[in-house]
Structure 1
Amino acid sequence: MDLTMCIRVGSLFLTLTLWVSCSDIDLTKEPGHLKPFGTGGVNKPVKEMDGFPDPENFFENYVKPTKPLKMKGAASISKAMGKWRDEYFLSLDDDLDSEVKLETKKKENRLQAVDTKTFKNFVKIYNQTEHYMVDSVPPALSIDITIPCPLQCKQLTEHNFVDNIMWFSRGGTKSVVHTDSVDNLNCLYRGEKTLYFVDPSEHRHDVHIDYPDGTYSGMDVDAVDYTKYPGMANVEFYHVNVSAGDCIYIPYIWVHQVRSYGSNLAVNVWWHRHAKDDLDYSACNRQCNTEYTMAQAKFMVLKTIQHDPIEVRDDFMTYVSNDTNFEGFKHILFGDDYDKIVNDTTYVRAFTEMFEMLDADKDGLLSFTDLKTLDNEAWGTVGELLQLLMEDMEEDFEARNIDIDPDINPDHGAAGDSDEMDLHD
């Protein structure tokens, strides 16, 4: 019997999935129960190649079909590969006294305190602490990083790059299980990393993203409890080890979890996921230019990705599952804050109008078919209405001293992003 059919009754909506246990399956005896994430299920290899592919190969064969890719030795084209030693960082004067954000625990917990120090002070202390730098690459260092060859396209570097982030620690870090709302190419300059991926097209409901406002799961990555997360017993994983000099492509919305080993330094670039749709390969570098660095790229802050109808549609497509009723719709928008607004007739009326606009077949339930039926003009209207509603609610609730944390907010550009993207591998 297929375990999924046995334990999964169905889903009212993405963040609230109903499960029942089956008398003939004891989930506590399944391989992987109370074991690290990635243990127990089938492990498939991630596709590998030597060096970077050209832009057309990369986008047509990996980005568009959303398939991860390991590029062995690809990062060696950057000057950072040979230069980035702690002594080098401490010897530089330019712009390295500005503060950077630091996580304070190597095992990620989204509720942990965030510290700040100057970059140089961080370099001096990180080997004696659990401090872990997760912030944009200091400008003085961006000249050392060659833009990855398949991304050397003007449409990307001038209009669609979101940010480039430095991940710097003494090793031993463990990310939460999460997804990214952008495409991601991560290059490792020191140490080792292990990544486990789950294909959302195969296991969308099996990995329970129970914190949709941060697009992550609360499961313990060292001891996954199948009684709390029963879908995990049915998951197949993609597994890859990455060494210094390698790069890894992490596709949009793929579930993943990352562990680091040894002194660890990586840089990733995030880019807008819709850039692939009309990318002109003739405007990309035919020969990779190793002198084309991150210092020459233009990065969008995430807040500038606003009111794009396709973005708004994809936000809803990410969180709405088939047969979402009106109550579920309100809970998708506000999660645990739902009960703070449910009895406010003004907002309920506004939610009702939005729900009726999305419910194309007028059956009282939202489905993927409904969402796909709406054209871009309608989605633009939905985004504008939602933005106005959020602004009114924020002002009103602030006056009433009520704290809300909406899960879908078009001013953030992607479902679940905070004013700054949740920073994680």
Structure 2
Amino acid sequence: MPSTILSKPPAPPRPAPVLPPAASTPITREWVRWVAEQVMRGCTPVSMLEVMVNAGIDDVVASVIIEGMVSNPICVAGEQQVQLLRKLESSMANLQQLWELNPDYQTIEKRADVSVAEFASRYVEGCRPLVLTGHTADWPAMRRWSPQDLKQRFGHLDIEIQAERHANPRYEQDKLSHRRHVRVADFVDQVVSGGASNDYYLTANNEALRQPGFAPLLDDIGTLPPGCDRSQLSARSSFWFGPAGTVTSLHHDKLMLFHTQVVGRKRWRLISPLQTPRLYNTNAVFSPIDLDAPDYDRYPLLRGVKILEVVIEPGETIYLPLGWWHQVRALDVSLSFSYSNIGLPNNNVFDYFDPVVRQV
């Protein structure tokens, strides 16, 4: 992966009320930080100088800042750590190339039946996504669940949803500030009559299935995928409901899970965890990239990343392997059921270091 791509320079500072005619752009903390970042990334002094001069900084001043940063012992130590990071990134990129040698790499298999042994070896240990198509035939949910059924059976109960998401592109990261409690009947009416929207959504964070009033939903779940521990179903499952147009933004989970589509369709876009260095992951498990409208100028490392895509139909279940990035869009009014009760090491086993890059 290239290490000499200059990152975006800081925004110009607000001008002072009065500036002498010959004044140049002042050196701010943001510019000093930018120079330090470029030095650690391995960018050349010439390339940095060009950017700074084009931004209006005096060339002599810029040269002094750059030369001082190149010899700064803190930056030297940072460069050494970046070199170690580059080795890790190159190892991941090489493994990704091996995965992509498989001509079927970008095809997500749809299979009606998989044994426990094959599921464990081929998909869990092999870290491959899979769509199961056969195990929900005996689910009462497939015959019963609908918005109107939800309203009839649970309309009097309160539920936690996410609301007012349109106004905040970070609605997933800031999900706590978007929590609202509404009556199920009112929310069903809003979803049915409101048309396509990403402004409101009953997501996995609602914890509905831990409430006694929603326990009948669990009675509607029949045969589980291979290797699932049914005794853990109520504690490790979630219910989803929303209109067409809801989007779960690009992120990865910290465990493996199944997601069964009961009503409506969802389009899943997935990216290998080995591609993480190219997804600008600077905030916990989230990427700022929108796969529906990728901005390659802002995120140039995204170019060439292989994106897998599959539409999950009613009755189908997607298996999400460990660490796979995914962005999900509902194509219809959607009722879904997700669960992580896989009878293998899963919950509270895998350890991720989540970056939170401090903005100065």
TM-score interval, smaller chain: 0.5 to 0.7
Question: What is the letter of the counterpart of residue 74 of structure 1?
Answer: H
**Residues 310-389 of structure 1: matches in 2 within 5 Å?**
311=350, 314-316=351-353, 319=354, 332=355, 335-336=357-358
User: Is the alpha carbon distance of 1:74 and 1:159 closer, same or farther for their aligned partners in structure 2, counting shifts above 3 Å?
Assistant: closer
For each residue in 1:202-255, what CA deviation from the matched residue of structure 2 results, as whole angstroms up to 9, or x when unmatched?
Answer: x1311121212xx01122343222232221102012211111111100112101
The separation in 2 between residues aligned to 1:255 and 1:74, in whole angstroms, is: 25
Name the counterpart of 2:250: 177
Q: Which amino acid aligns with 2:201?
A: Y
The 5-angstrom pairing of residues 83-98 of structure 1 reads: 83-92=144-153, 97-98=157-158
Rg larger for = 2
Match of 1:71 among 108, 132, 156: 132
- Asked if 1:264 corresponds to 2:334, the answer is yes
CA distance in 2, matches of 1:64, 1:165: 24
Determine the C-alpha separation between the residues in 1 that align with 2:226 and 2:234: 13
What letter is aligned with 1:315?
A: Y
Query: What displacement does 1:80 show?
Result: 0.2
Partner of residue 306, structure 2 = 236
Aligned to 1:211, which of 260, 274, 283?
Answer: 283
After TM superposition, give the deviation of residue 7 of structure 1 in Å. 6.5
Q: Which amino acid is the alignment partner of residue 238 of structure 1? A: L
1:123: Cα distance to partner?
Answer: 1.8
| Aligned residue in 2 for 1:394 | none
Tell me: CA distance 1:237–1:161, structure 2 relative to 1, closer, same or farther (3 Å): farther
**CA shift at 1:159, angstroms?**
5.8
Assess, with a 3 A threshold, how the Cα gap between structure 1 residues 335 and 43 changes in structure 2: closer, same or farther: same
The alpha-carbon deviation at position 127 of structure 1 amounts to 2.0
| 1:146 alignment counterpart | 222
Partner SS for 2:157: coil
Which residue pairs with 1:194 in the alignment? 267
**Maintained 8 Å contact 2:3/2:41:** no
CA 1:115–1:234: 2 relative to 1, 3 Å: same
Give the TM-score of the pair, scaled to structure 1.
0.52
| Equivalent position amino acid for 1:143 in 2 | D
Which position in structure 1 is the counterpart of 2:181? 116
Shift of 1:148: 1.5
- Aligned in 2, Cα 1:82/1:181: closer, same or farther, shift over 3 Å? same
Task: Give the total of aligned pairs.
Answer: 254
Q: CA 1:160 to 1:83, structure 2 compared with 1: closer, same or farther past 3 Å?
A: closer
CA shift in 2, pair 1:81/1:159, >3 Å = closer
Q: Determine the structure 2 residue equivalent to 1:132.
A: 201
Q: Shift of residue 60 of structure 1? A: 1.8
> Secondary structure of the residue that 1:80 maps to in structure 2?
helix
Distance 1:271 1:8, change over 3 A: farther
The residue aligned with 1:411 is: none
Contact 1:166–1:265 at 8 Å: present in 2 too?
Answer: yes
1:127, 1:262 → 2: CA distance? 11
Q: Distance in 2 between matches of 1:271 and 1:161?
A: 9
Q: Could you tell me how far apart the structure 1 residues matched to 2:220 and 2:121 are?
A: 28
Contact 1:66-1:251 within 8 A present in 2 as well: yes
Give the superposition deviation at 1:162.
5.4
Could you say if the C-alpha distance between residues 86 and 204 of structure 1 is closer, same or farther in structure 2, counting changes exceeding 3 Å? Answer: closer
Deviations 1:70-103 (A, max 9, x none): 112433331100101233223326x961433334
Tell me: CA distance 1:46–1:171, structure 2 relative to 1, closer, same or farther (3 Å). Answer: same
Q: SS at the partner of 1:92?
A: helix
Q: Which secondary structure does the structure 2 equivalent of 1:189 belong to? A: strand
User: What's the counterpart of residue 276 of structure 1?
Assistant: 344
CA RMSD of aligned residues (A): 3.4
1:183 maps to a residue whose letter is M
- Cα 1:62–1:118 change in 2 (3 A) is same
**Aligned counterparts of 1:225 and 1:19: Cα–Cα separation in 2:** 24
Q: Which letter does structure 2 place at the counterpart of 1:239?
A: E
Which residue identity lines up with residue 221 of structure 2 in the other structure? I
Structure 1 gap ranges (5+): 10-15, 24-41, 280-301, 320-331, 340-425
> Structure 1's 63 and 117: CA in aligned 2 closer, same or farther, altered over 3 A?
same
Cα drift, residue 46 of structure 1:
0.7
Alpha-carbon displacement from aligned partner over 1:144-197 (angstroms, at most 9, x marks no partner):
012513144xxx344698521112112111221100011110000111111111
SS in 2 for 1:70: strand
| More moved, 157-166 vs 184-193 | 157-166
User: CA–CA distance in 1 between the matches of 2:127 and 2:231?
Assistant: 23
SS at match of 1:315: coil
- Does residue 116 of structure 2 align to residue 55 of structure 1? yes
1:108–1:263 CA distance, 2 compared to 1 (3 A): farther
TM-score normalized with structure 2 length: 0.61
Higher alpha-carbon deviation: 96-105 or 77-86: 96-105
One-letter amino acid of the structure 1 residue matched with residue 327 of structure 2: Q
Which residue in 2 is equivalent to 1:166?
A: 239
SS of the residue corresponding to residue 298 of structure 2 reads coil
Match of 1:45 among 107, 129, 132: 107
